[in-house]
Copies of this chain bind each other. A is one copy, B any other.
């Protein structure tokens, strides 16, 4: 056992720290580039980096996107082309997931996204404990909720 393990009393208790969680969205190849352009137009995302697929075919007009990092507020999302040989994610994931976009101006954000091609699903709703919220579906099948920052309630934290 290392000194660290001895101090912890157990190897399994080793301290692991994560710098960040980045949701990675896979879109049908070769639409990742289009998706990046869409997220820029709809949500004002900034492209931080892009790594292209090394196995590019000579006849391809543009290389496939292995991973593009997009900055959205203080968060980063990843967009990738789903290719046959990629370590493909499952098509159905858990019970469901949405990407929550927090903003002080929900209405303006929805208008901008819809102008860029997102489809608004349902009316703006005053979510319980969540402030104003709206649901959008993007052209790549992902669901986004645009909402006011979550209000912390004093009695909300437990377990």
Contacts and interface: CB of A to CB of B under 8 A. Distances in A.
Bin the interface of chain A by size: 35 or more
Give the number of copies in the complex.
2
Given A24-B98, A49-B153, A73 B129 contact: no
A49 to B, nearest CB: 5
A114 to B, nearest CB: 10
A132 interface: no
A98 to B, nearest CB: 5
Contacts of A118: none
Contacts of A37: 159
Interface of A: 12, 14, 16-28, 33, 36-37, 43-44, 47-52, 54, 66-67, 69, 72-75, 77-78, 82, 87-105, 108-109, 111-112, 115, 122, 125, 127-130, 133, 135, 140-143, 145, 149-150, 152-153, 156-159
